Structure 1
Amino acid sequence: MMIQGNCLCAAVKYEVTAESQMQGLCYCTDCQIIGGSSHWASYAVAPSDFRLLQGSLTEFAYDPGSGREVVRCFCDQCGTQIKVVSAELGVASVNAMTFSNSEAFSPKLTYFSGSAPAWCTVEAGLAKFEAMA
């Protein structure tokens, strides 16, 4: 399976070369703040399954409070967040909203749904996890 995507200004183009380990919606407050939305649409793959085809990414590394460093990667031109990487967990969470084909994403679970804004309806049919392992 190959999925292609790009940032808003199309300076960054990428492909994902493997089936997702998990597809979900993250409602943590970090994802809400950085994404300007109620959640992050995560298509999780091994970091080696993400391939940058064009452009460059700016990285922002921090500890979200778990004791594990995560690196958020953005287009250095328009600021679109493309992926979040946790080397310790061996996962790259690719922003599914940047896929060229939106039908390639089908969420199966939610994370931190208890942190969803009061005005947001969390999909009842998805498995819910209140923390990351």
Structure 2
Amino acid sequence: MKIDGGCHCGAITYEAEVDPEKTAICHCTDCQRLTGTAFRVTVPAPESNYKIISGTPKVYIKTGSSGAKRAQGFWGDCGSHLYATSVGDEPKVYGIRVGTSRQREQLVPRKQVWHRSALHWLPEFEGKTTIEEQ
């Protein structure tokens, strides 16, 4: 499925080819803190299928408790989080933030990851595959 989108103010735009069946809810504490809310919804796109059309995101490198590094792409002026990806020379997969896509209504989450960190007051998302970690 082809998607396109961008940051809140429109300075950064992108297009990508994604498999909507791979859309997921992430409950990890990093996603909670980075979004300022209870979870984040992401759809992956291989590097070859993700293209920034305009603008240049700022990148923040987060080192997880495992030592793995993740590049968090965002636009510094309006604060929109656009993606996360690995750091290094290996082929990248971009975790596109579904809320930045114009097709977000069609990107229905199929699974939940890091469910062990889900906030207790959230309703259960029934019918979704649940993975306690990732």
CA contact (8 A) 1:56 1:76 kept: no
Partner of 2:114: 112
CA contact (8 A) 1:25 1:41 kept: yes
Q: CA RMSD in A?
A: 1.7
CA distance in 1 between partners of 2:56 and 2:69 (Å)? 21
CA distance in 2 between partners of 1:63 and 1:89 (Å)? 19
Q: How many residues align?
A: 132
Unaligned runs of 5+ in 2: none
CA contact (8 A) 1:47 1:85 kept: no
Amino acid at match of 2:86: S
Displacement of 1:86: 1.9
What secondary structure, in the 3-state scheme, does the structure 2 residue paired with 1:79 have?
Answer: coil
- CA distance change for structure 1 residues 25 and 18 in 2, over 3 Å: closer, same or farther? closer
CA contact (8 A) 1:21 1:44 kept: no
How do 1:18-33 and structure 2 match up within 5 A? 18-20=18-20, 22-33=22-33
What secondary structure, in the 3-state scheme, does the structure 2 residue paired with 1:97 have?
Answer: helix
How do 1:1-133 and structure 2 match up within 5 A? 1-20=1-20, 22-87=22-87, 90-132=92-134
Percent identity over the alignment is 25
